[in-house]
Amino acid sequence: MRRLPSHRTAPQGQTAASIAAQLGLPEAQVRLIEQAALLHDVGKIGVSDALTSQRPYKPAWSVEAAVAELRAQAGRHFDPRVVAALERYLARQETIVVTG
| Distance of alpha carbon 85 from alpha carbon 92, whole angstroms | 11
Note the pLDDT tens digit of each residue in 31-53.
998 888 776 655 556 677 788 88
Note the pLDDT tens digit of each residue in 43-89.
556 677 788 889 899 999 998 999 999 999 999 999 999 999 989 98
DSSP state of 26: -
Quick check: helix, strand or coil at residue 68? helix
Residue 2 lies in a domain: no
| Distance of alpha carbon 7 from alpha carbon 69, whole angstroms | 21
The CA dihedral of 58, 75, 28, 5, to the nearest 10 degrees, is 30
Domain count, the chain: 1
Q: Is residue 89 a contact partner of residue 19, using CB atoms and an 8 Å limit? A: yes
Residue 3 lies in a domain: no
Residue 31 lies in a domain: yes
Residue 71 lies in a domain: yes
| pLDDT score of 34 | 87
Residue 69 lies in a domain: yes
Q: How far is CA 24 from the centre of its chain?
A: 16
Residue 19 lies in a domain: yes
| pLDDT score of 50 | 82
Stated pTM of the model? 0.67
Residue 1 lies in a domain: no
- Which residues constitute the domain of residue 41? 12-99
